[in-house]
């Protein structure tokens, strides 16, 4: 597949859904707070989409194999739109949770199909840059989404921000339906005999169990800190500093600008020097930033800490997805990545839940320190327990799988 085709088929619709999800980063926790529920329910609402994704991760690999990449992408995107647009109507907190679960199921289908597409269409020695760009596109949503959501919510109300996010999802669905070629999307997930696919996964786990187990633990801790930060920063801004939605959205967006700007060097470092050179500093820096959050005492200090966290996260753009693709066995990429994403999504669910539970029983300060510990654990595991998976091209023919325009 040519680079231009990859951009139109995957990166463009990804950008639309990323911005839509970015809108919810600020408005969803504040909307949940307006419902008059406690920290625990706020964290459940924030984590509900991740719960839906968690439920669907492994089944998504089976769905992808049976119906193909294109259908899987479109169905997933449609469910995300339904689960987002539905928030425009006033409802009880339990119904909000249900809608977010639906959106999470769609996210599982959408995310796995895109991840598998890139993993199989791009050679290993170019994979870091391709997936880092994919991660960078997702960070575009964190660049524009929070400030868009904050401004719309401040000017027109929370429900208007959810409607705008739903419209962006519809644009993403249209882009995917137009630019994903049916013949390629149907052929890629069917490599290898179907009755051997899970056998290949079991063989990989048996032969590389320790390495994959350590990598999975790092993935778990990494997603705890990445997802938990999305909840704790708005809560500290609102509860401790008294900032409004637009100010919190500005903090998140400025942090995301630095985050987003790092995906090109992150991909280069992964392919040129090794995956560890990007992943280890990522979680170390993020851990330091989360540990500093309790000391924020103004908009400016929260902004500075947000920049540090954004720098760390940006250095790791695409690192965990690249590591998963590197470890996936040939012929069973979708099934393996379904398990890999399941591990990460457990962390995504745990992040907001732990923030809410610890904040309810102790304080937001305790939640920040918990996230700091998760970041340090991920960095240490990647540094000392996970092998380097970077490879070099065996021949010039490897470049045939993806061609520059």
Give per-residue pLDDT as tens, 116-164.
Answer: 777 777 777 777 777 888 777 777 776 778 778 888 888 888 889 999 9
Q: Hunting for tokens 């959408």 — which residue is that?
A: 110
Look at residue 4 and tell me whether its pLDDT is greater than 70: no
Instruction: Answer whether residue 185 is part of any domain.
Output: yes
CA gap 265, 229 in Å, rounded:
23
* Model pLDDT, residue 195: 52
- Give Cβ neighbours of residue 307 (< 8 Å, ≥ 6 apart): 254, 255, 258
Residue-number span of the structural domain to which 159 is assigned: 3-190+197-390
- Give Cβ neighbours of residue 188 (< 8 Å, ≥ 6 apart): 69, 116, 117, 120, 121
* Model pLDDT, residue 3: 62
First to last CA, the chain: 10
Tell me the per-residue pLDDT of 91-103, one tens digit each, with 9 for 90 and over.
Answer: 888 999 999 999 9
The proportion of the chain whose per-residue pLDDT surpasses 70, expressed as a percent, equals 89
- Give Cβ neighbours of residue 357 (< 8 Å, ≥ 6 apart): 39, 40, 43
Closest-CA residue to 290 (of 383, 221, 220): 221
**Position with higher pLDDT, 209 vs 108:** 108
* Model pLDDT, residue 1: 55
Q: Name the H helices within 68-196.
A: 69-85, 93-121, 124-156, 158-179, 182-187
Instruction: Answer whether residue 124 is part of any domain.
Output: yes
Instruction: Answer whether residue 397 is part of any domain.
Output: no
Tell me the per-residue pLDDT of 32-73, one tens digit each, with 9 for 90 and over.
Answer: 888 878 777 888 888 788 888 888 888 887 787 778 778 888
Q: Which backbone phi and psi does 403 adopt, to 5 degrees?
A: -115, 140
Instruction: Answer whether residue 26 is part of any domain.
Output: yes
Look at residue 236 and tell me whether its pLDDT is greater than 70: yes
Instruction: Answer whether residue 404 is part of any domain.
Output: no
Instruction: Answer whether residue 88 is part of any domain.
Output: yes
Q: How far is CA 141 from CA 115, 120, 308, in A?
A: 18, 25, 18
* Model pLDDT, residue 99: 94
Tell me the per-residue pLDDT of 259-302, one tens digit each, with 9 for 90 and over.
Answer: 888 888 888 889 888 889 999 999 999 999 999 999 998 999 99
pLDDT band at 394 (very low <50, low <70, confident <90, very high): low
pLDDT band at 392 (very low <50, low <70, confident <90, very high): low
Q: How many CA atoms lie within 13 A of 347 on its CB side?
A: 25
Tell me the per-residue pLDDT of 179-204, one tens digit each, with 9 for 90 and over.
Answer: 876 654 444 444 444 556 667 777 77
Per the structure, the count of domains in the chain is: 1
Mean pLDDT for all residues in the chain: 82
Closest-CA residue to 324 (of 55, 125, 116, 117): 116
Look at residue 388 and tell me whether its pLDDT is greater than 70: yes
Look at residue 396 and tell me whether its pLDDT is greater than 50: no
Instruction: Answer whether residue 401 is part of any domain.
Output: no
**Position with higher pLDDT, 100 vs 342:** 100
Query: How many CB atoms sit inside 10 A of residue 65's CB?
Result: 22
Instruction: Answer whether residue 403 is part of any domain.
Output: no
pTM for the full predicted model = 0.71
**Position with higher pLDDT, 123 vs 104:** 104
Instruction: Read off the CATH number of the domain in which 178 is found.
Output: 1.20.1250.20
Assign 93 to helix, strand or coil: helix
Q: Which backbone phi and psi does 92 adopt, to 5 degrees?
A: -70, 155
Q: Name the H helices within 316-363.
A: 319-327, 333-361
CA gap 108, 333 in Å, rounded:
15
CA gap 97, 101 in Å, rounded:
6
């Amino acid at each position: 597949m040519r680079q231009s085709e990859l951009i139109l088929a995957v990166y463009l619709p990804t950008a639309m859904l990323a911005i839509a999800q970015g809108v919810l980063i600020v408005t969803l926790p504040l909307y949940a707070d307006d419902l008059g529920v406690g920290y625990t329910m706020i964290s459940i609402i924030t984590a509900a989409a991740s719960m839906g994704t968690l439920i669907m991760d492994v089944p998504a690999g089976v769905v992808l194999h049976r119906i193909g990449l294109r259908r899987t992408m479109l169905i997933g995107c449609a469910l995300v739109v339904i689960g987002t647009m539905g928030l425009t109507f006033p409802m009880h907190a339990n119904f909000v949770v249900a809608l977010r679960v639906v959106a999470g199921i769609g996210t599982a289908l959408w995310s796995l199909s895109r991840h598998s597409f890139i993993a199989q269409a791009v050679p290993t020695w170019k994979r870091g840059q391709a997936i880092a760009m994919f991660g960078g596109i997702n960070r575009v949503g964190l660049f524009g989404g929070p400030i868009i959501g904050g401004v719309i919510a401040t000017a027109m109300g929370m429900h208007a921000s959810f409607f705008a996010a739903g419209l962006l999802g519809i644009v993403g669905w249209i882009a995917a339906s137009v630019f994903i070629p049916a013949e390629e999307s149907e052929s890629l997930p069917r490599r290898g005999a179907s009755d051997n696919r899970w056998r290949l996964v079991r063989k990989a786990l048996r032969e590389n169990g320790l390495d994959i187990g350590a990598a999975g633990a790092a993935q778990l801790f990494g997603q705890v800190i990445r997802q938990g930060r999305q909840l704790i920063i708005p809560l500290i801004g609102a509860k401790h500093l008294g900032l409004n939605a637009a100010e919190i959205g500005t903090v998140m967006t400025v942090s995301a600008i630095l985050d987003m700007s790092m995906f090109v060097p992150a991909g280069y470092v992964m392919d040129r020097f090794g995956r560890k050179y990007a992943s280890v500093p990522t979680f170390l820096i993020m851990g330091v930033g989360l540990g500093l959050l309790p000391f924020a005492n103004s908009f400016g200090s929260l902004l500075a800490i947000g920049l540090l966290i954004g720098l760390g996260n940006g250095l790791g753009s695409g690192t965990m997805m690249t590591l998963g693709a590197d470890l996936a066995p040939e012929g069973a990429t979708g099934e393996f990545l379904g398990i890999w994403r399941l591990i990460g999504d457990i962390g995504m669910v745990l992040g907001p839940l732990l923030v809410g539970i610890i904040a309810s029983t102790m304080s937001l300060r305790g939640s920040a320190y918990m996230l700091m510990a998760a970041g340090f654990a991920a960095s240490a595991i990647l540094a000392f327990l996970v092998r380097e998976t970077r490879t070099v091209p065996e021949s010039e023919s490897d470049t045939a799988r993806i061609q520059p325009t």
